[in-house]
Amino acid sequence: MAPVTRFRCVRRVAKGSNNMERVTLRIPKQQIEEVERMVELGDYPNRSEAIRAAVREMVAEERSDDRPTERPFARA
């Protein structure tokens, strides 16, 4: 099994955060290293923004007619 990076979850909204919530994600180490590489290359300003962009893309795909019939989910 691949190492997993863990983030802490806090269910509160910080002042000035535009109603954003902090969530916990368990992401395989290789994937978070790729996200960090994209940040280092300047594709995204930080890991949070890279992950938000991925979520926005997934939500937009779900709303379109081009969505895949199956998604590959990791087993816990």
Sequence ranges of the domains in the chain = 1-7+22-67
* Other Cβ atoms within 10 Å of 5 Cβ, number: 16
The per-residue pLDDT for range 17-44, each reduced to its tens digit, is: 578 898 888 999 999 999 999 999 999 9
Q: Categorize the per-residue pLDDT at 64 as very low, low, confident or very high, splitting at 50, 70 and 90.
A: confident
**pTM score:** 0.64
Buried b vs exposed e over 23-51: b needs ≥16 C-beta within 10 Å?
eeeebeeeebeebeeebeeeebeebeebb
In terms of Cα–Cα distance, which of 34, 63, 73 is closest to 51? 34
